[in-house]
Amino acid sequence: MADQALPTYEVREGLHRFWFPDGTQVEIHRPARDRLGRLWAEVLARAGEDRLLNRARFDLLDLRARDRFSQGISADARVDWQARLLFALEHVTRALQEAEAAAEVEQTLPPATDRVEPFPVGALPMPLARFAQEAASALPCPPDFIGVLMLPLLGAAIGTSRVLEVKPGWYEGPRMYAAVVAEPGSKKSPALDLVATPYQQRQRALHTDYLHEKAQYQLAIAQHEADLLDWKQRRGTGRAARGDGPDPPHEPVLPQIFTTDATLEALATLLEQNPRGVAFIQDELTAWVLAMNQYKGGRGADRHGWLSFWSGAPIIVNRKTRKEPIVLNNPFVGVAGCLPPDMLSELTDERGREDGFVHRLLFAFPDPLAMHWTEAVVTQATLQGYGCVLEGLWTLQGVSPQTPRVTSFTPAGRQSFIEFANALYEELADPDFPQTLRGPFAKLEGYGARLALLLHLCRYVCGDARSEQVDECSVLRAAAMVQYFKSHARRVYNRLHAMPEDQRVEQVVRWIQRHGGECTVRALLRANMGGCKRRQEAETLLQELVDRGLGRLRDKLVPGGRIQTSFALYRDVLPTSANGRDVGGCRVGR
């Protein structure tokens, strides 16, 4: 168009109107994309306000359709209607893209049901809060990794020494099963190693003492054999008194405060020798679940054993190598570990049954932290402060190794716990409450009491609480942690119940992310992604991504006058965003 004046452009209620200097007009009514990315609209060509030259509905991106529309206009041949339509198309496309970009922020924000709360570091006593903050900065990693993994280890340090009487007949000990969910390379394993450092140091000290006691035992055995031989000789000559000979020395047993062996038989023996309880620490918790019943063709009792460990219910383990069974009246095991999001489904029962096992896990599934170099370190004083809290908890003694001392709430603490419990009951009573969350949320009532006991005893050994009675401050801190675990449970269970089609979408989205966030139908077919073998299948799959709110289709003019359609992920489609079900860290729900 060689006009000296510029065309004018107006948009009103879906009508795009263009006025050209020669008096011609182009009107485009309510342009809209279809599932295949075509841009349909009703187009009118006018000569002035009153003279309609042509009217048709067609795909604006189709060059041939635009050509047919232009040829259908019987007017001055010197008017280049193709150029006018292309000018209009450029502005309409730009307007649509701007509208999509404006809506993109709202679209890509995860819904409230999937947003996770930050770990409440302030709920921890000062030495633990300082350790969580310094460790998170030094690795670096989300503070959740440190705070959540500390909880079962702090609980195992208390072990069977204390229980909280919630009300007559209802007692809760500080048993915790906690799992950090994060992608490989997110520093979850170094976080677990750092949190377990005091355990490793104490275990090494116990092993050193054991070796010394074992050496003394060997000497005592030699002396006992000599004394026994002398006693037999004297008895044979009548010089020895009647009765039994000298008692043999007791063989020392290596005390253990943690283990990495998840089999029921090994744990039963370990708990028999260490009745106060142990921590089970494993970097890959899926190996823990997969190992259950591995020697019994899936028909063993290991999974049920772990259910009993969580509740502290008595358990009896029969072993072929022993005449008498192992009887554990109050078994205590705290679990701390990690797993990648892709392996969450392994936590469910292998035969599809709902036994409540996964509901007993407290999950942390935080937003990923961008990796960067840091000079931050965990100071020795901070690590010692964390270790001193554990040492204080290890010194707590029960009535006996298997009989805990009972503590209770203060009056204000009890009232706060009642309010916490009633709020949880009200939430569960909502008829619209998701069925998949009823199991894990029901366990949060007991976890509220366990966390209150754990946090209060940590405050007690730190000098922040004057007595062992659980006060209002500890209950409120526990309630804050329960609120945190609620939000992370929503994210985990959205992922845990993902359907096969969600997993297919996850695979394709991850592939697109690795290739710059954009792809064409042709590229999708070449890579054989999502099982697509025909163009129509690839187009349908990309439209599925659009329908799920993961991105949008874009059209651009390529050499030869051809319009090429590509799919572009939204910038905010990150491993933590979700809309409906959260699969692979990408929004895959409708």
Give the per-residue pLDDT at 588: 37
Q: Three-class SS of residue 520?
A: strand
CA distance 166 to 181: 31
CA distance 531 to 539: 12
User: 467-502: per-residue pLDDT in tens?
Assistant: 999 999 999 999 999 999 999 999 998 877 655 566
Q: Three-class SS of residue 10?
A: strand
Give the per-residue pLDDT at 240: 56
What are the structure tokens assigned to 494, written together? 């959205």
CA distance 176 to 165: 17
Give the per-residue pLDDT at 105: 42
Fold designation for 121-202+319-496? Rossmann fold (3.40.50)
Give bridge partners of residue 181 from the DSSP assignment: 339
CA distance 103 to 555: 19
Radius of gyration (Cα) for the chain, nearest Å?
A: 34
Around Cβ 122, how many Cβ atoms within 10 Å? 9
Phi-psi region of 514 (alpha: psi -120 to 50; beta: other; left: phi over 0): alpha
CA distance 517 to 191: 31
- Residue ranges of the chain assigned to CATH 3.40.50: 121-202+319-496
Give the per-residue pLDDT at 333: 97
> Is residue 385 within 8 Å of residue 334, measured between CB atoms?
no
Beta-carbon contacts of 250 under 8 Å, excluding residues fewer than 6 positions away, are 217
**Residue in the block written with tokens 């377990």:** 196
Residue whose C-alpha is closest to residue 505's, from 587, 448, 580: 587
User: In three state form, how does the secondary structure of 94-134 look?
Assistant: HHHHHHHHHHHHHHHCCCCCCCCCCCCHHHCCHHHHHHHHH
Give 329-396 as a DSSP string.
Answer: SS--EEEEEEE-GGGGGGGS-TTS---STGGGPEEE-PPP-----------HHHHHHHHHHHHHHHT-
**Residue in the block written with tokens 């491993």:** 575
Question: Which CATH architecture group holds 500-587?
Answer: Orthogonal Bundle (1.10)
Around Cβ 294, how many Cβ atoms within 10 Å? 12
Give the per-residue pLDDT at 525: 85
- Classify residue 219 by burial, with Cβ atoms within 10 Å: 0-12, 13-18, 19+: exposed
- Residue ranges of the chain assigned to CATH 1.10.10.10: 500-587
Beta-carbon contacts of 436 under 8 Å, excluding residues fewer than 6 positions away, are 493, 496, 497
CA distance 459 to 124: 8
What are the structure tokens assigned to 127, written together? 């030495």
Please compute, for residue 547, the number of CA atoms within 13 A of its CA located in the half-sphere on the CB side.
12
> Is residue 13 within 8 Å of residue 4, measured between CB atoms?
no
User: 395-439: per-residue pLDDT in tens?
Assistant: 999 999 889 999 999 999 999 999 999 999 999 999 888 888 999
Residues in the chain, pLDDT under 50 = 1-4, 104-113, 295-298, 350-352, 574-590
Give 181-239 as a DSSP string.
Answer: E--TTSSHHHHHHHHTHHHHHHHHHHHHHHHHHHHHHHHHHHHHHHHHHHHHHHHHTT-
